Amino acid sequence: MITARQARAARALLGWTQDMLAEKALVSLTALKRLESVNGLKVHESTCDQVRRALEAAGIVFLSSDRGEGVMIVAEQQNESSLA
């Protein structure tokens, strides 16, 4: 499950507004705002999953370790045939 901070950071890396992410994840703007809330508001697991999948599809990788959590954006891999 992604955290509120990870969702906000991932969206910032992509330059997306909350409206854009809600649309791409097929969730309501209200649900997304709850997910990103600093108050730890409850959100359906399916909402978190849809947001995570939308962000991952855009190149976001979620990181988690014993030292904390984070996000990074990865560049799309070039097709080897286009390198020839």
The predicted structure's pLDDT at residue 41: 87
The predicted structure's pLDDT at residue 80: 44
Report, as ranges of residue numbers, the positions in the chain whose pLDDT lies below 70: 76-84
Could you tell me which of 63, 62, 31, 61 has the C-alpha nearest to residue 48? 31
The DSSP H or E segment spanning 69 is: strand 68-73
Domains of the chain with CATH codes: 4-83 (1.10.260.40)
The predicted structure's pLDDT at residue 60: 97
Structure confidence by residue, pLDDT tens digits, 65-80: 999 999 999 976 544 4
The DSSP H or E segment spanning 64 is: strand 60-65
The predicted structure's pLDDT at residue 1: 83
Q: Are 43 and 34 in contact (CB under 8 A)?
A: yes
